[in-house]
Every structure is written in structure tokens, then in C-alpha cells.
Amino acid sequence: MLRRTSVVSGLAAVIAATTLLAGCAGGAGPRATDSIRIILGHGAAPGNPRSEAALKFEELVEAKSNHTIDVQILGQEAVGSDSEMMVSVSSGTLDMSINSQGPFATYVPEAALIGLPFLFENSEHAYSIVDDDEIHNYLAEEAEPAGFHVLGFWDNGLRDITNSKREINTPDDLKGLKIRTPDDTMTISIFNQLGANPTPMAFGELYLALRTGAVDGQENPVVNIKSSKLNEVQPHLASTGHKYETNPFVISTMRWARLTPDQQKIIQEAADEARDYQRDLMAEQTEAIYDEFEQSLTVTHPDKDAFREATKPVYDQWQAKYPEFFQKITEAAQANRADFAGKE
């Protein structure tokens, strides 16, 4: 509990300091005393699409509100890990977070099914499902009682595997490897099924754990691998695309309720525009980073059919847990699969 206490205390100090600054601004320009300040936390490194789009969101909100809404961004886990930020948003001590799917699924368990192995052909296929009113509204409604108003689902990409031990060409190559995973029940299910040793760990602790050999490898979209320099300590990349994840963008329901309808409209419009900007950046960076990694790492392109077959039992496990939402999301993904099949 020590770290969580220190995170919450640090966050309270930040809020107190920024509130004091806002009050000292007097009537001078955009920092007038009738402006409001919203604190946004995330865990991404500078240059990562999530970090860049958070800046875009800040710019959009302040422009659309004529600087009557001031967004302050605290990135790189400055106010705690993704899991800790979700606790803070739920309790109302942090206003907003562009978070991760695993911690979000702690409160909305069905959200984990977005990460069923090989559910989506590509990111665009995933967007068509998570933006669909039926899927989006179901998850958003389930999040409200836990203290989260969902502003949208940003792109955390299709995920690949890196490690320091050996090339990965088949599922058997993963057996016995200690693989860091996020705090995400679906990812843990997948890597248990593949015979690896999944090891949940905060993302901020990962680089050191890889460098010291505390874990052998990890799984992430290549943009996260590059922006956090994990490629410096991981010579092998397997382009598996084994699952897709979102970055849920949430605001505390308590903070949302204190906003006027006009302010809510501004924030939602800015969140939608920043989401599209972030997705475009993900596509651009992903293509460039794959090209770079082909030159600097040992990159393998495993037969995905073998991995699909090996992870089939994961579908049975999650269908038994959440049969209604399982049917809803798998049927939706299958219904338009042909529109995206074969596209990278």
C-alpha cells in the first residue's frame, strides 16, 4: 500500500498546486479565475501516439473552449501505473486517464474479450467493432457504476512478442519463457495456453526487468516497444499480432457531472478528434518501425495458423465466463471479417 499512498498523496499535491496557480492568474487572459482545470494522466513515453494525441486533445479542448477549460497532462506514469490511475479516476482524485485495456477490464470484465486471440484481422477491423454503437455503448454503460465515463477507445495496436533468448517461429518456442504481461486477464490466459510463464508487471518497470533478465521477454505493439526503447534490450521480435488492445479514454463520473452540457460537448468532440489523430499516428509509426526493426533486430514471421490453433481453448474459457458478450463481439467481428481480410 506504500506506493499507492505515495501516488495518491503526490497527485493531491499536484492538484493543490495547479489549483493555486489557476487562482493566482487573476483576470489575465486564458488563465482567468472562471476557467476550470482538468488533470489527465497516462503512462506513455514522449513521442508515443498516445502521448502525442494527449497533447492534441489538450490543444483542441483549450481552443474549442476559448481557453476556459485548461487541460494539464501528467504522462509517463507520473501519477501512478495504469492500474493506479484507474483507482484514482474511479475515486475522483484524478480527472481523466488514457489508460490500458487490462486495468479497465478490472472494472468492466467483458472488455477483456476485445483481446481474444486473433479476433481481428487488423486495427481497422478492430475500430469497426469497438466504435460500433452496440459494443461501445454496452461497455460504456457497464463502466458508469464503477465511476468511469467512457470518452472513447483509442488504439493500443496489434501486439507482437520480443525476447532475449531465441527466435520464435512456433508456439513451442515460447515454452518456459518468462514473458512480462500487463495486468490483463486475457493476455495471461493466452500465454498460459502457449506454455510461457506470464508475469504481470507495470509497464514503467519493464525496461529494467528486461535489462537485468528478471523477465525474458514481453509483448506489445511495436510503437510501444520503440518509444520505450525496449528494442535496446530485446534482440528477437516475433511478428505474431496475437491480440488487439484498446486504450480506453475515461473521465471520472464525478468530474463529468460537474461539467456543463456545453463543456461536456467540447470534451467529447475533442476526444473523438484526438482519437482519430492517435489512430493515424499509430498506423504511420507502426509501418516505419517495422521497417527499422527488420534492419536492427532478428525478426521472425511465425505461421499465425499454428498460434490460432494453440490458443483455441482461450475462446472456450472466455465464452464460459461471459457468454452473452462473447457472442456479441465474436459475431460482430465475423460479420465483416471479409471486408478486412488480407489487409495489413
pLDDT tens readout for residues 272-320: 999 999 999 999 999 999 999 999 999 999 999 999 999 999 999 999 9
Q: Are residue 215 and residue 236 in the same domain, yes or no?
A: yes
Q: What is the reported pLDDT for 5?
A: 43
The C-alpha angle 11, 258, 99, rounded to 5 degrees, equals 45
Q: Are residue 66 and residue 143 in the same domain, yes or no?
A: yes
pLDDT tens readout for residues 118-152: 999 999 999 999 999 999 999 999 999 999 999 99
Q: Number of folded domains in the chain?
A: 2
In a domain, 326, yes or no: yes
Q: Are residue 137 and residue 202 in the same domain, yes or no?
A: no
CA distance 276 to 195: 37
Q: Among 230, 243, 240, which Cα is nearest to 164's?
A: 230
In a domain, 265, yes or no: yes
Q: In what order do the strands lie in the sheet with 298-300?
A: 197-200, 178-181, 217-220, 160-163, 236-238, 298-300
Q: Are residue 135 and residue 191 in the same domain, yes or no?
A: no
pLDDT tens readout for residues 201-256: 999 999 999 999 999 999 999 999 999 999 999 999 999 999 999 999 999 999 99
CA distance 100 to 182: 9
Q: Are residue 218 and residue 137 in the same domain, yes or no?
A: no
In a domain, 338, yes or no: no
Q: Are residue 187 and residue 315 in the same domain, yes or no?
A: yes
In a domain, 146, yes or no: yes
Burial 175-192 (b: 16+ CB within 10 A, else e): eebbbbbbbbbbbbbbbe
Radius of gyration of the chain (CA): 20
CA distance 278 to 335: 26
Q: What is the reported pLDDT for 243?
A: 98
Q: What is the reported pLDDT for 67?
A: 97
Q: Are residue 177 and residue 49 in the same domain, yes or no?
A: no
Domain with residue 112: its CATH number is: 3.40.190.170
In a domain, 49, yes or no: yes
Is 243 within 8 Å of 116 (Cβ atoms)?
yes
The set of cell numbers assigned to 270 is 475533442
Q: Are residue 205 and residue 310 in the same domain, yes or no?
A: yes
Q: What is the reported pLDDT for 30?
A: 39
Counting residues of the chain whose pLDDT is more than 90, the rounded percentage is 88
pTM score: 0.89
Q: Helices marked H in the chain — which ranges?
A: 2-24, 49-64, 82-91, 101-107, 123-130, 133-143, 185-193, 206-212, 222-227, 253-257, 261-296, 304-310, 312-321, 323-335
Q: Are residue 170 and residue 216 in the same domain, yes or no?
A: yes
In a domain, 341, yes or no: no
Q: Are residue 92 and residue 218 in the same domain, yes or no?
A: no
CA distance 59 to 235: 38
pLDDT tens readout for residues 151-208: 999 999 999 999 999 999 999 999 999 999 998 999 999 999 999 999 999 999 999 9
- Specify which residues 22 forms β-bridges with: none
Q: Are residue 92 and residue 134 in the same domain, yes or no?
A: yes
Q: Are residue 297 and residue 253 in the same domain, yes or no?
A: no
pLDDT tens readout for residues 51-61: 999 999 999 99
Instruction: Give residue 10's pLDDT band: very low, low, confident or very high (50, 70, 90).
Output: low
Instruction: Give residue 11's pLDDT band: very low, low, confident or very high (50, 70, 90).
Output: low
Domain extent at residue 303: 160-243+289-331
Q: What is the reported pLDDT for 3?
A: 43
CA distance 74 to 46: 11
- Rounded to the nearest 5°, which phi and psi values hold at 273? -70, -40
In a domain, 337, yes or no: no
Q: How far is CA 300 from CA 57, 160, 208, 251, 311, in A?
A: 36, 10, 24, 40, 19
The set of cell numbers assigned to 317 is 474459457
In a domain, 25, yes or no: yes
